Chains A and B, each alone.
Chain A
C-alpha cells in the first residue's frame, strides 16, 4: 500500500484557536499561558434582539459536544424568570437527556483522549492496537449516551426537541425501553471502568483547590441546585454575579472567572465529587468505596476516575428514569415573557455553566451572558500547568509536553467553549 501525504485539516477541528506556552528560564518556570478561544462571546452578541424562546436552539450550537448543557441552562433561566415550574415528567426527561450527554462526553474524553496519556501512547489509535477491548467498550459506552440524546433530543447533534417550558414531544415509551438492555451492560462496564481508572498510575499532586459546583438536596447535581463551594459559599444562582467576576488577562481574549476576592476556583467532576460525595447513586457509591476514594479527592489527575464514576452514576440514573418513565402530556407548559432577568446554572460534563438573559416585556433578549466551565477553570489550569512544569523540569521537552498536556486534559477543555490545543513552547535560556 503506497502512502501519499495530502495536508488537509478538517473542520470542527480548526487549528490555531488556542495554544499553550510554558516559558522556562534558567531552569525556572517563568511564564505559563493558556490561550483559549471563546465562541460564547460571539453567541452573546448573536442573542441580542432574539426572542427568548430561541435561546435554547441558538446556544445549543455553541458546542458540538455539550449542546444539552447549553440548552438546559437556557431553558431553566427562562422558566425561572417566568416563575414557571415544568411537570415532573418533563423534569425527569431533562435529567435523562443530561445523563446521555454526560455518558457520551465523558466516554469520549476518558477512553479516546485521556487514557492514552496514562497508558503511554501518543493517541487513542496507537492505544487501540494494544487495548482494543478498552477502546471498543469505550466507543460502545459513548454510543449509548448518544442514543439517549437522539431519542430524547430528537437528533444526535444540536437536539431539536427541547423548548422553553418542556419538550416539543415526549418520546414513546418503547423507544426508551429499547435502550434498557444496553444500559444494563453500560452500568456493568462503567463500574469496571472505575476499577480500571483507579488502577492507573497517578503523578503525585494534591492541591487544596477551591471547588465550586451545584449542590442539590436530594440528587447529584445536573439541572438544579444552589451554587456551593468547599469554602463556605452557598448561594442561589441569582447571586452568581455578585460572588463571581470575570477578569481579562493580556495574553488571552478569554475572560478568566474568579471569586469576588480574586481567588481562582475549580469546577467539573472533581468539584462535583468533593461537594456531592453523599449523593452518589448506590452503585457509584459502592464503586467509590471499592477503589478507595475517600471523602475528598485533591489530585487533578484522578479526575479520570471521577469521570468513570459519573458515567456509572449517569447510567444508573438513566436506567431508573427510563423505568419510571411515562410519556405524560402535556409535553410543555406555556411560558409567557415578562420584563425580567433570567438566570440559571447547570452542570455541563466539564463543569458549571451559567447563563443570564435580560428580557423585555415582548420577550426579546436585550443582553446575554454565558460563562462556560472552561473559562472558569482557566486560572486553575494555568496554575496546575505551572505546578506540573516545575515538577517536570528535569525531563526532556517531549516528556514535559506529555505531562503538561495530560494536566490540561484533566479539565477536558472544550473545543468550542474553549481550547483547541496544544502547542507547547519551552524556551530554556
Chain B
C-alpha cells in the first residue's frame, strides 16, 4: 500500500468541547490544502494512529492539550525528541493516548521520519460540540504553523532530490 510522504492528522473527540479542535482544523485543511497532501481526522487512539503514520515521512498532528499555557496558546512539539507526559503511565482505563502511541510506535519501530505536534491549549473538555472562543481564535495560527511544517518538508524533499 502506498504511504504518503507527508501526512496531516487532526485528533480528538468532537463531542468534548475543545478536544474537537484537531479534527475541525483537519476538515478545514482538507478543503484548503492542495490535493497532494493527505489529511486525516481521527479520535486519536493509539492503534489507529500507529497504523496511519507508519511508513510515512513527515507527520504533523493537531490536537488539543492541557498544560501548554493559556487557553488558545499554540505550540510546536517534536514528539520524537520531547516527552509530553512526565508522569509515566498514562491515567486511562481504556484508550492509549498520544504519548503512548508514540512510545508504542518507537517500541515496534513503526515511527515516521518526523513527528510534529501542533498543540492547542484547551479551555474546556466538557461534553458538547463547539469550540471555546479562545480556541477558535487560535485556528489561523494553527493553519499557519501547519503550512510552515509542510513548506519545510517540501524544501527538504526538493533539496534531497536535487
Give B1-44 interface residues, CB cut-off 8 Å to A.
12-13, 15-16, 18-19, 42-44
The 8 Å CB contact of B83, one of A4, A408, A422, is A4
Q: Which residues of B contact A112 (CB under 8 A)?
A: 46-47, 96
Would B92 and A125 count as touching, CB distance under 8 A? no
Binary interface profile of A, 146-185, with partner B (CB < 8 Å = 1, else 0)? 1000000000111000000000000000000000000000
The 8 Å CB contact of B98, one of A10, A129, A146, A415, is A10
B interface residues, tally (CB under 8 Å): 51
Q: Which residues of B contact A8 (CB under 8 A)?
A: 65-68, 84-85, 119
Would B97 and A13 count as touching, CB distance under 8 A? yes
Decide yes or no whether B122 CB sits under 8 A from chain A.
Answer: yes
A139 to B49 alpha-carbon distance, docked (Å):
11
The 8 Å CB contact of B91, one of A13, A113, A132, A135, is A13
The 8 Å CB contact of B43, one of A4, A132, A157, is A157
Would B42 and A42 count as touching, CB distance under 8 A? no
Would B43 and A64 count as touching, CB distance under 8 A? yes
Would A139 and B97 count as touching, CB distance under 8 A? no
Decide yes or no whether A1 CB sits under 8 A from chain B.
Answer: yes
Give A113-138 interface residues, CB cut-off 8 Å to B.
113, 122-126, 128-129, 132, 135-136
Binary interface profile of B, 101-139, with partner A (CB < 8 Å = 1, else 0)? 001100110000000000100100101000000000000
Would A5 and B86 count as touching, CB distance under 8 A? yes
A421 to B92 alpha-carbon distance, docked (Å):
6
Would A132 and B108 count as touching, CB distance under 8 A? yes
The 8 Å CB contact of A12, one of B16, B51, B82, B103, is B16
Would B85 and A7 count as touching, CB distance under 8 A? yes
Would B94 and A3 count as touching, CB distance under 8 A? no
Q: Which residues of B contact A146 (CB under 8 A)?
A: 48
How many contacts A-B (CB < 8 Å)? 147
The 8 Å CB contact of A1, one of B42, B81, B89, is B81
Decide yes or no whether B56 CB sits under 8 A from chain A.
Answer: no
Would B63 and A10 count as touching, CB distance under 8 A? yes
Residues A11 and B93 in contact in the complex (CB < 8 Å), given A1-B80, A6-B83: no
Instruction: Kindly list 13 other residue pairs between chains A and B, CB separation below 8 angstroms, not including A4-B83, A9-B66, A10-B84.
Output: A3-B82, A6-B82, A6-B84, A9-B85, A10-B44, A12-B43, A108-B47, A125-B107, A126-B107, A136-B108, A415-B95, A420-B92, A420-B93
- Interchain residue pairs with CB less than 8 A apart (19): A3-B83, A10-B63, A10-B66, A10-B99, A11-B122, A12-B13, A12-B16, A12-B97, A18-B93, A113-B94, A122-B89, A125-B103, A128-B104, A414-B94, A415-B94, A420-B92, A421-B93, A422-B93, A423-B91
Instruction: Point out residues on B near A: beta carbons under 8 Å.
Output: 12-13, 15-16, 18-19, 42-48, 50-51, 63-68, 77, 80-100, 103-104, 107-108, 119, 122, 125, 127
